[in-house]
Structure 1
Amino acid sequence: MMLRYLGSTKNLAGCVGGLAGLGLYLAGVIGWLWPVVVVALYAAGALLAPPEKVRLLPDASGELRVSLETLISSVSSQASRMPESTVDTVRRIAEVLADLLAQPARLSADPDLRHSVVRLVRTDLPLSVESFLNLPRWFASRRAGAAAELVAQLDLLEAEAHRIAERFYAADVDRQADHTRYLRDRDA
């Protein structure tokens, strides 16, 4: 608790106020009351500073990465039961999601995007794979529709993962395009 306050905006603003009071004393503006002035300016700075932002949702990116890695290892261990190429599709989806989860602060800045990633990692991708793997092996191998459903679901999830990544990296792409325009205009 104390360490959190030491790095808070309120403490930093209070310190600036206290240093201003000390500066006034050193400049000869205030006399023997300087300790009272320093404390008063510290208190004013601390009281006037904006409060820290409230974070109701903890950063769960680490948990999501673990969930994603667990899913990949589970799918890899069941590869013989999965239709051809679906394991690779799951890995491609996981690769896109892992890249997004590697930047937790940036992901947390967009709640809609974060929700989409959480939904893909915790619900959509596991549900698709589990639904197929929970079918009896003999049934899934005889019924082509079950494999086709899994392939279709994974294709949809891969497309969604790419749409999410495009939204996530849109500012970077725009910055790159701006730089290209700048370079072209500079040479003209």
Structure 2
Amino acid sequence: MATSKGNGGWAYLESRKNLTGSSCGLAGVVLTFTGVSGPYWPVVVAGLYGAGALIAPPERTAPPDFPDPSAQLDEVRGDFGRLRAYLAGVELPPAAGERLGELTGLLEALLEPGWVAEVLAADPDGVHTVSRAVRQDVPEAVDAYVRARWWTRMTPGQQPPERHLERQLALLHEEAERLTAELRETEARRQESHTRYLEDRSG
């Protein structure tokens, strides 16, 4: 408890309120030596200190240091590598395997370090879409297929689970294609904006 109070005391000594109040109080001391304050100098010094402490800006708590989008993409790349290792050990029917290959190829292209990833990093929604696909949607779709396939083998005659998997992978591929198109539009608008800038500058 004593340490806590001691730390609090030191914190106040270093605070903006104390520093500003001390500066104003020092001005009161100067006034005292010049004879302006007269016999009421203690009141003047204390009053100036209090006024300085009141007008000082409040202490600001630093906001949390969240990773920037580029750092988030680095984490997603690592997770994507683990996802690829997981998928390599799963046996899928040819049609589903082909769809999965198309999807993972597109995700890999978006995550490849370089200017494409820089464009993606500038789009928080895009980063979320890719992260969700890598960390949740794709592994969930494949794992659900593996589980359902086991039950289908135990109870033949049910709807083939690969149909659901193929549909899920198709939807995820469409989502990734939409994201790619949006990023392409962002670059197109950037190019058009630069053209207009050059036209305006040339008169």
TM-score if structure 2 supplies the norm length? 0.52
1:61 aligns with 73
1:67/1:122 contact within 8 Å kept: yes
Q: Percent identity?
A: 25
**Contact 1:140/1:146 (CA < 8 Å) preserved in 2?**
no
Tell whether 2:186 aligns with 1:171. Answer: yes
Question: Given residue 122 of structure 1, which amino acid in structure 2 is its aligned partner?
Answer: R
RMSD of aligned alpha carbons: 3.0
Residue 100 of structure 2 is aligned to residue 90 of structure 1: yes
Change in 2 beyond 3 A, CA 1:170/1:124: same
Question: Conserved in 2, the CA contact under 8 Å of 1:89 and 1:155?
Answer: yes
Deviation per CA, 1:54-108: give whole Å up to 9, x if none: 86234122221232232223223222xx232212211211111122222443222
Change (3 A) 1:140 1:105: farther
* Deviations, residues 146-178 of structure 1 (Å, cap 9, x unaligned): 221111111111111101111112233456789
Tell me the CA shift for residue 136 of structure 1: 5.0
Considering only CA atoms, is the larger Rg found in Structure 1 or Structure 2?
A: 2
Dislocated runs of 4+, deviation >6 Å: 175-178
Contact 2:100 2:169 in 1 (8 A): yes
1:1-80 to structure 2, matched below 5 A, reads: 56-58=66-68, 59-79=71-91
Q: Identify if the C-alpha distance between structure 1 residues 140 and 95 changes in structure 2 by more than 3 Å, giving closer, same or farther.
A: farther
| Structure 1 stretch displaced more, 54-63 or 69-78 | 54-63
Inter-CA distance 136–154: structure 2 relative to 1 (3 Å threshold):
closer
Residue in 1 aligned with 2:148?
A: 135
Q: 1:155 aligns with which of 165, 170, 181?
A: 170
- Name the residue aligned to 2:131: 118
1:170–1:109 distance in 2 versus 1, CA, 3 Å: same
Aligned to 1:27: none
Between Structure 1 and Structure 2, how many residues are aligned?
Answer: 126
Letter aligned with residue 124 of structure 1: D
Say if 2:96 and 2:162, in contact at 8 Å, map to a contact too. no
